């Protein structure tokens, strides 16, 4: 006698009288008290179709000799499921039979600090992972810029999206927060996850022989992108050591030689200097220089 003991797979959903996504079900059959594990695989895996169509389009692997026929297995499967909305053992939904998709590992490549005004360039990749992908409604992923309240892409069908048209960038230091969300096959929202894209401003630093500098000289200095002024900066030596900090970052109060822990005497240049960066954003700077010209390089620690 053929009897199903259990269905032990969490990547399927079987519901009578509606359309569903089905991948593969591992079926534990008992035949005359001898348990056999048989794989029932729809020929059209991943297709959205009715339960009756599923029963008519399956292949059963594992049948041997005269144990039973495919028709026997289909009949028993139909009887076992009956009018239950789903059958899936060991799922994560309290025994209801439906495994909810979960999003994770949201990444943006390249993952870097972008300069204010810099667009999200063509070729930038948004990628993520999802569990129980067979339970995700087709073409339901949405990437959204939560900071500005605008969708990047809707109706997306895969777990990766490559930017094909540049997206505008922030014009102030801070973060863009992006989210990815989706819908499951029951038309319920899949909990969104987020990823921040940071924007910073260039800090300019270097050696100049003059006691003051102008905008042209400031822009000619080496630069490093920062989201705040705190940190260590390698000063090259060979003149007055200048460090130019965006007004938006506020003013450092400590100028320390990182190697010795001693204060570095500095003078703040009168007024501010405004320059336009490579992406057309105006940035205003406060400028400091060492009190003396210095021969040797050293690491300046700002806080």
**Per-residue tens of pLDDT for the chain, all 303 residues:** 444 444 443 333 333 333 334 443 444 444 444 444 444 444 334 443 444 444 444 444 444 444 445 455 555 555 554 433 333 333 444 444 568 899 999 999 999 999 999 999 999 999 999 999 888 999 999 999 999 999 999 999 999 999 999 999 999 999 999 999 999 998 999 999 999 999 999 999 999 999 999 999 999 999 999 999 999 999 999 999 999 999 999 999 999 999 999 999 999 999 999 999 999 999 999 999 999 999 999 999 999
70 Cβ contact list (under 8 Å, min separation 6): 58, 60, 63
The rounded distance, in Å, linking the Cα atoms of 16 and 53 is 11
Structural domain ending residue among the three candidates 24, 49, 81: 81
- Radius of gyration of the chain measured on its C-alpha atoms: 31
pLDDT of residue 134: 86
The rounded distance, in Å, linking the Cα atoms of 133 and 51 is 19
Report the CATH number that the domain containing residue 176 is assigned in CATH: 2.60.40.10
Does 193 share its domain with 120?
yes
> What is the separation of C-alpha 56 from the centre of its chain, rounded to a whole number of angstroms?
40
Question: Strands 125-130 and 114-115: what pairing?
Answer: unpaired
Residue 90 in any domain: the answer is: no
Does 189 share its domain with 226?
no
Residue among 289, 278, 281, 276 nearest 215 (CA): 276
Does 288 share its domain with 232?
yes
In the numeric block, which tokens belong to residue 58? 């399956």
Does 216 share its domain with 289?
yes
Does 20 share its domain with 54?
yes
Whether the CB-CB separation of 195 and 251 falls below 8 Å is answered with no
Structural domain ending residue among the three candidates 49, 81, 113: 81
Residue 88 in any domain: the answer is: no
Give DSSP secondary structure letters for 276-292. E-TTS-EEEEEEEEESS
pLDDT of residue 16: 36
Residue 295 in any domain: the answer is: yes
Does 185 share its domain with 230?
no
Query: Would you give the end-to-end CA distance of the chain in angstroms?
Result: 80
Residue 30 in any domain: the answer is: yes
pLDDT of residue 20: 39
Instruction: Give how many domains the chain has, as a whole number.
Output: 3
Whether the CB-CB separation of 138 and 180 falls below 8 Å is answered with no
Does 215 share its domain with 173?
no
Does 133 share its domain with 192?
yes
Whether the CB-CB separation of 125 and 209 falls below 8 Å is answered with no
Whether the CB-CB separation of 106 and 194 falls below 8 Å is answered with yes
Does 230 share its domain with 149?
no
Q: What is the DSSP letter of 249?
A: G
In the numeric block, which tokens belong to residue 263? 């204060």
The model's pTM is 0.69
Whether the CB-CB separation of 198 and 175 falls below 8 Å is answered with yes
Strand partners, 189: 183
pLDDT of residue 36: 45
Q: Find the domain containing 284 and state its range.
A: 200-302
In the numeric block, which tokens belong to residue 60? 């059963």
Does 61 share its domain with 143?
no
Residue 188 in any domain: the answer is: yes
Cα 23 to Cα 36, 153, 290, distances in angstroms: 20, 27, 69
pLDDT of residue 67: 47
Does 281 share its domain with 240?
yes
Residue 93 in any domain: the answer is: no
């Amino acid at each position: 006698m053929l009897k199903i003991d259990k269905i032990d797979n969490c990547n399927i959903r079987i519901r009578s009288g509606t359309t569903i996504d089905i991948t593969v079900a591992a079926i534990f059959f008992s035949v005359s008290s001898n348990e056999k594990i048989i794989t029932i695989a729809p020929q059209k895996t991943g297709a959205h179709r009715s339960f009756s169509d599923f029963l008519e389009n399956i292949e059963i692997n594992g049948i041997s000799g005269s144990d039973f026929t495919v028709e026997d297995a289909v009949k028993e499967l139909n009887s076992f499921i009956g009018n239950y909305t789903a059958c899936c053992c060991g799922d994560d939904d309290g025994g209801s039979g439906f495994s909810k998709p979960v999003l994770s590992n949201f990444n943006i490549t390249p993952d870097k600090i972008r300069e204010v005004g810099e667009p999200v360039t063509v070729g930038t990749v948004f990628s993520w992972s999802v569990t129980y992908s067979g339970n995700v409604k087709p073409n339901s992923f949405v990437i959204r810029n939560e900071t500005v309240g605008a969708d990047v892409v809707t109706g997306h069908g895969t777990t990766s999206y490559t930017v094909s048209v540049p997206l505008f960038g922030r014009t102030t230091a801070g973060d863009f927060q992006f989210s990815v969300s989706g819908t499951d096959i029951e038309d319920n929202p899949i909990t969104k996850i987020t990823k921040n894209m940071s924007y910073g401003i260039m800090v300019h630093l270097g050696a100049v022989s003059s006691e003051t500098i102008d905008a042209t000289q400031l822009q000619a200095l080496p630069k490093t992108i920062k989201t705040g002024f705190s940190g260590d900066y390698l000063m090259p030596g060979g003149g007055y050591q200048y460090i130019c900090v965006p007004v938006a970052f506020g003013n450092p109060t400590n100028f320390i030689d990182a190697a010795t822990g001693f204060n570095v005497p500095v003078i703040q240049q009168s007024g501010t200097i405004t320059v336009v960066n490579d992406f057309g954003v105006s940035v205003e700077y406060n400028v400091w220089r060492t009190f003396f010209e210095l021969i040797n390089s050293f690491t300046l620690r700002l806080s």
